Amino acid sequence: MVYGHANGHDLAEAVDAVGRYLELGYRAVRAQAGVPGLVTAYGVAKGKLFYEPATKGQPEDQVWSTEKYIDFVPKLFEAIRDKHGFDFHLLHDVHHRLTPIEAARVGKSLEPYRLFWMEDPTPAENQEALRLIRSHTTTPIAIGEVFNTIHDCRALIENQLIDYVRTTVVHTGGISHLRKIAALAELYQVRTGSHGATDLSPVCMGAALHFDVAVPNFGIQEYMRHTPETDAVFPHHYSFADGFLHPGEASGHGVDIDEREAARFPYERAYLPIARLEDGTVWNW
């Protein structure tokens, strides 16, 4: 099973976006929305199906308010459940922006809406911080897309401070090392939920799918659709249907590269935005 990214500039737009993903056959949807009183919000895309958070040229400044976010996010998921019910999974990404006690408050406020997971609730460098969150909420926690080795997530797994480990093929030493992480996680009933953003090419997605089907504690796979231009550069055999990605029957990972097509798209720099508080202070991205 995979999940897609539904987002909107306001609550109503985000609720409608979730509905569109359900119509496409998704059984799990990550929901993000603009926060009232803030002009921009990370996780809210300019495009709706082909979501890309990076912008070309200089990094974009975005404004953040923890207080406004904490007050708003339960209303978002209440509206989604009221409109679309409980027969599908909902996910949410906090993007590392909260302190542990703030994250605990958000997790507790979201319990009635039965989230599949709350992702990156706080920066994971201080891993004991996850213990504080865990002690206050039963909302499942997912973390790890920026981890590089099994040692980055070992304590979180062994102490059962997370429910899903989000390490991915391209960041964590390839399939062999990722399988070691999955094997450790299996012992502690922690499942996988590999990162699958658009800056990871279809080559990475093909490898991730073969990893997913090979581990017994597979949980879910992030699936951010690539643009038609990207798909043309990377012809692939995996396909989406009924909420699942199918690896296909081709040899290897089932993904190729068309170098002549790739030459039509020279490299252009792009950056994730910079988050600032309303007073201009730099904050976690």
Residue 58 pLDDT level (bands cut at 50, 70, 90)? confident
Residue 47 pLDDT level (bands cut at 50, 70, 90)? low
Whether pLDDT at 51 is above 90: no
Whether pLDDT at 43 is above 80: no
- CA–CA gap between residue 195 and residue 178 (Å, rounded): 12
Structure confidence at residue 198 (pLDDT): 86
96 carries an active-site annotation: no
Residue 42 pLDDT level (bands cut at 50, 70, 90)? confident
* Helix, strand, or coil (residue 183): helix
Q: Where are the beta strands (DSSP E) in the chain?
A: 2-8, 28-33, 55-56, 61-64, 89-93, 117-119, 141-143, 164-165, 191-192, 221-222, 239-241, 244-246, 270-271, 274-277, 282-283
| CB count in 10 Å sphere of residue 22 | 18
Identify the helix (H) or strand (E) that includes residue 75.
helix 66-84
- With a pLDDT cut of 70, the percent of the chain lying above it is 98
pLDDT tens column, 158-212: 999 999 999 999 999 999 999 999 999 999 999 999 999 888 999 999 999 999 9
5 carries an active-site annotation: no
pLDDT tens column, 150-168: 999 999 999 999 999 999 9
Whether pLDDT at 48 is above 90: no
Structure confidence at residue 46 (pLDDT): 66
Structure confidence at residue 284 (pLDDT): 75
* CATH number among 3.20.20.120, 3.40.50.300, 3.40.50.2300, 3.40.50.11860, domain 2-283: 3.20.20.120
Query: Which residue type sits at 245?
Result: L
- Tell me which of 3, 21, 42, 238 is the catalytic residue: 42
Whether pLDDT at 52 is above 80: no
- With a pLDDT cut of 90, the percent of the chain lying above it is 82
- Tell me which of 5, 95, 195, 226 is the catalytic residue: 95
Mean pLDDT of 73-86: 98
